[in-house]
Amino acid sequence: MDLTFHIGIDDTDSPRMGCTTYVAALLVGRLQDLGCRFTDYPNIVRLNPNIPWKTRGNAAVSLRLLCQERSIDSVKEATLSIVKENSDLTYDKTDPAIAFLEGDVPAELSEFSKKVIQDIVSVAEAKRLAAKFNIEFNLIRGERGLIGALAAIGETLQGDHTYEIIAYRTPGNRGSKRRVDERSVIQMDSKTNPLTFNNYDYESKRVLITPHGLDPILYGIRGENPEALLQAQNMLTVDEEVERWVIFRTNHGTDSHLRRIVSVSQARPFRPVVVQGRVAAKPRTVTGRHVIFSINDDTGRIDAAAYEPTGSFRKAVKGLIEDDVVEVYGGVRKGSAAYPRTVNLEKIRILKLAEHTVLENPRCPKCGRRMESAGREQGLRCRKCKLDMRDAKKVHVALGRTIKETLYIPPAKAHRHLTKPLSRYGREKTNAPRSMIENWHSP
């Protein structure tokens, strides 16, 4: 009899090597050899990016299968050995974890996943859930990875989701410069966007699909559907061997980490939030690179910061003045004696621009020159026309604004994995896909 079976894996990464998605890619072939059938693309679930003890990309993966009951033990053994062989245990912050769930995903586990993506949960909470739902788990060193392994199983991506096709390098090439032609990336981007996104940063002229580290990823292309990704992959000029490639389904580019809160006082450290407020102190540039301002509402006040890597986004932020009404998006950084609580800006929406005026003398009705004071309580005078206006007073003159009532997002290179790019607005999905395409991984 076939069993519904879920595998969650977290935290095999280190800055030096390894990548949790690669472990999943290796398992794709291995588990099919054991007679399992995939019921979904492997899922990459990005967790709360503001957790201070996160792994490099804070990514967990899950594999969803139909397996024969008698092969379950071999499936578990294969998973354990591939995770062990491919985890960088020389890095002391790597705490790989694997979780196995038989049967359907319980609603309570899905709730737990939402919390792991938006908030902070304890290892104790994860253990309680594992016990309640009979989820078997393996902790290869520490316990922290259990949270992500469970969250990957529980987040079934029923709402908005995207896809990523990831190609991996052969072992001999890892560590060397990735040979993916820049012009072919730009061409692929222009032909496939908006069905793909964040391929290239035009502001800094940087290829975004290739990482720079020692990890096995050659490139990863993100997009709205598997067909667009296959098409995009075919447009690349790649001058090195691809070991394997797999299409994943993910919460990349969905903003699923951001939670709307109704007041500034609810912005708690390490939580990604969306909150509205009034600009209480206009932007100032600190150390010549970062732009910081404050917002408030009836419940309190908080700083918001656009850091140097957000590039031209800072220009929009600098255009704010007191009393503008805004909605800020981003993770909350804990305050200290030296720095107040701060929202690290991922986006900003200008809801209402305040009127920006200065008090000036009016212009002369005859010649249009700016009038001058004629002396104390003497009204105003035009020196040229010799015109005296005893009752004239200074007037409010509206100054132009450099920003509009709209949404501002930093350039692609500054996006978090979870940040929804502008091109995805209006493309949000509300259902999981019905069927998988035939060729979702390399032969």
Q: Which is nearer to Zn ion, 75 or 380 (CB)?
A: 380
Q: How far is the CB of 380 from Zn ion (least distance, A)?
A: 11
Stretch that binds Zn ion, among 64-72, 255-263, 290-298, 357-365 (CB under 5 A): 357-365
Residue 236: both structure tokens together: 């690349």
Q: For residues 180 and 17, what is the distance between their CA atoms, to the nearest angstrom?
A: 20
Stretch that binds Zn ion, among 45-53, 201-209, 374-382, 397-405 (CB under 5 A): 374-382
Residues contacting 406, CB < 8 A, separation 6+: 349, 350
AA letter at 399: L
The reply on whether position 437 binds Zn ion by CB under 5 A is no
Stretch that binds Zn ion, among 272-280, 323-331, 363-371, 404-412 (CB under 5 A): 363-371
Q: For residues 232 and 226, what is the distance between their CA atoms, to the nearest angstrom?
A: 10
Q: Which is nearer to Zn ion, 376 or 386 (CB)?
A: 386
Candidate list 385, 422, 432, 437; residue touching Zn ion; CB under 5 A: 385
Q: Which is nearer to Zn ion, 72 or 387 (CB)?
A: 387
The reply on whether position 382 binds Zn ion by CB under 5 A is yes
Phi, psi dihedral angles at 371 (to 5 degrees):
-75, 160
Residue 329: both structure tokens together: 């998006």
Q: Which is nearer to Zn ion, 52 or 368 (CB)?
A: 368
Residue 333: both structure tokens together: 């950084």
Candidate list 116, 332, 364, 409; residue touching Zn ion; CB under 5 A: 364
The reply on whether position 380 binds Zn ion by CB under 5 A is no
Q: Which is nearer to Zn ion, 334 or 393 (CB)?
A: 393
Largest CA distance in the chain: 104
Half-sphere exposure of 416 (CA within 13 A, CB side): 25
Q: Which is nearer to Zn ion, 391 or 438 (CB)?
A: 391
> Where are the strands (E) in 252-409, listed by range?
259-260, 272-286, 290-297, 300-306, 325-333, 342-352, 357-360, 372-373, 380-382, 387-389, 395-398, 407-408
Candidate list 366, 393, 394, 396; residue touching Zn ion; CB under 5 A: 366
The reply on whether position 388 binds Zn ion by CB under 5 A is no
Q: For residues 162 and 231, what is the distance between their CA atoms, to the nearest angstrom?
A: 16
Q: How far is the CB of 398 from Zn ion (least distance, A)?
A: 23
User: 415-435 b/e with 16+ CB inside 10 Å = b?
Assistant: bbbbbbbebbeeeebeeeeee
The reply on whether position 367 binds Zn ion by CB under 5 A is yes
> What does the binding site for Zn ion look like in residue numbers (CB under 5 A)?
364, 366-367, 382, 384-385
